[in-house]
Structure formats: structure tokens, C-alpha cells
Amino acid sequence: MIPYRNTVYSRKGQTTFMLGKLNQAPPTNEKSALIGVDWGTSSCRAYLMDTQGRILNSTTTDQGILHVKGGAFAETLEAMIGTWRRPGLPIILSGMIGSRQGWIEVPYLPVPTSFDAIANALVRHIDDSDIYITPGLAQNLPDEAPDVMRGEETQIIGAIGATSDRQLLIMPGTHSKWALAETEQIIRFATFMTGELFAVMKDHSILGRLMVKNGVPHNNTAFKRGLDAAATLPGGLLQHLFSARTLSLFDQLPAESIADYLSGLLIGHELKEAFQTFNMSSDLPPITVIGASALAQRYVAALEHVGLVAETAGDHMAACGQSRLARAAKILPF
């Protein structure tokens, strides 16, 4: 029996509901079983996977949603994965493609929420029945400003696996995300604009004019000095930021080390604020940093510097999460 799913398609304030058949899962003797697309703001990565979620092929482009002209998302997707497609092969899109600026605006789910609830909220494209788009998550707690995520929830699902243990997950980036997950649920999360603030300070401030930006190797000593400054200097972030200029002015910080000092300072404040946000002391759950980039390794180093243990979850957690969601939604066989 072929299952059915209510499907919502929303664009420019108009919403249409359709009762549509799910595609039957591809035959098990077919190697390719799923296409996953992690479609963000500035870039897009696609994966061709088998029934077990193993990656058979992948491709990356700079066609993030802000770079797609005239809403040509269908054409952009076809150019990227057209050679992989065949009728009935499901495609899961996650990330900003489901935002108001993306292809189809998919409603947010409130947290706490389960992995199964996210799978059940997949939205099927009304014009292409092979395409499913993941919802984002929203958090609106008393006495706190609302918070949202799109894409990171899929990475979390991929990283945490089937464990029931509580975990703290960190996703570094322009808008760094921290999340608590337990028993296949995302319980709470918080966003820190660390990466964007670093970019603004580096490229659009008087402090940035003092930096040597190109061809400079990472200075771990300066980075750790920034971490220590965030933890020990009196005052707060706005006061501490000026130290990146004054230390250079008094020849206590070379120009080629300012960027690493600033990075440590900002990440140090992120750590301090995150632990306050989640009301954590010494009794911390296992910490996982999602990603394989140099930035992810920098977060691991920062956590270790303050006496904590962290590990990385690799660079393809979105694909892992898409495979798990497809299985939970019965788009793929169990």
C-alpha cells in the first residue's frame, strides 16, 4: 500500500494544500536511492546516496539562495543534479531553500521537537512530486527573543544518531548554533553571530585596517590570548574589542596576530555566553562540534583550552540527517 501525506506549498503568502501519493521507495537493487541537497544562503551541496545513506557522489556550487537569479531554483537544481535524477528517486532539500527568501517557505516547528516530528513535517513540492523540503525550527521562550534555525536541525539529526544520551552540539559558522539534544529530540538551541561579527570587524572597521589579512599562518598563541582575555578581563565584549586595537598600538600584539586574537576573543565570549544560556556548570554533557573545517577545529581547540573535551562529527552530517529523515518519513525502506 502506498502511503499518503498532506502537502503544503506556500509562496508569496498563498498556501495550497494537496493530498499526494508518496513515491514508492526505489527497488533495493538500484544503487542510488536518495538525493540530498543542503541548500544554504551562499552555497549549495548535493549528495547522491544509497539506501543505507552511503554517499555515492557529491557536488558543491556557489549557487546559494541569494545567488539564484529570478527565483530560478528548479533550473539551478536541474543543472546541479540532473544527471543523477530518475523518476521516483526522492530528493530532500534542507537549509535556507525552505525560508521566505528560498523556493518554498516551509513553516517552522517549535522546539522541543522530535526527529520523527521533523520527518512528518516534510513538505512535498506541488510541481515536482519527487522533491521534499525540511522545516526549520523556532524557539520562543518567555523573557527571551525568538530564535530560529534552518538546515542545522538536519545536521543535528545526522550527527546524534540513535543515541538517547543528552548531547551538546555546536555548529560554527556565520551564525554559530548551539543545541541540546536528547532521546532523538532537539530540546533547546541558541544562535551567536560570532562569525558575522568577526567578518564585519575584519573588513569594515578601523580595527580591520590594522590587520595583516593575507598569507598569514594561524597564530595559536594570539588565539589563546584572546580566549583568556574573554575569560579574565574585567568588563564585557564591547570593552574587550577595543583591546585588539590598544594591544597593537602599544606594540604588545603584532599586526599579523590581531585577527587570531580577535577570533579567540569572540569565540571565548561565545563559549561564556553559551554556558550561561544553557545554565551549565561543570556537569556538561558530551560536546560535539559539527564540521571538518579549520573553524570547527578552532572551536575544539577553544573548548580544550578552557578544560573541556569535544570531538568533531565530520563534514557530511546534512547528508546523514537527510537519509535518516527519508527513512523516518517512509520515503526510503527501513
The CATH number of the domain where 239 resides is what? 3.30.420.310
Specify if 271 maps to a domain.
yes
pLDDT at 118 over 90: yes
Q: Terminus-to-terminus CA distance in the chain, angstroms? A: 15
Q: Which three cell numbers stand for residue 179?
A: 543545541
H helix runs in the chain, sequence order: 73-81, 115-120, 152-160, 194-204, 206-209, 220-232, 237-241, 243-249, 258-277, 294-305, 317-328
Specify if 171 maps to a domain.
no
Place of cell 569565540: 267
Specify if 178 maps to a domain.
no
For the chain, what is the domain count?
2
pLDDT given at position 116: 96
For the beta carbon of residue 180, count every other beta carbon within 10 angstroms.
Answer: 20
Clarify whether residues 236 and 113 are in a common domain.
no
Record the pTM: 0.87
Domain range for 282 is 192-312
CATH number, domain of 15, equals: 3.30.420.300
Clarify whether residues 145 and 201 are in a common domain.
no
H helix runs in 98-142, sequence order: 115-120
The answer to whether the CB of 174 falls within 8 A of the CB of 195 is: yes
Report the C-alpha gap between 178 and 139 in whole angstroms: 13
Specify if 46 maps to a domain.
yes
Specify if 166 maps to a domain.
no
pLDDT digits (tens, 9 = 90+) for 297-309: 999 999 999 999 8
pLDDT given at position 334: 58
Band of pLDDT at residue 284, cut at 50, 70 and 90: confident
Mean pLDDT throughout 285-295? 89
Percentage of the chain surpassing pLDDT 70?
89
pLDDT given at position 11: 33
pLDDT at 139 over 60: yes
pLDDT given at position 281: 66
The answer to whether the CB of 49 falls within 8 A of the CB of 327 is: no
Specify if 182 maps to a domain.
no
Specify if 184 maps to a domain.
no
If residue 114 lies in a helix (H) or strand (E), which one and from where to where?
Answer: strand 113-114
Q: ∠ at Cα 150 (125, 67), nearest 5°?
A: 75
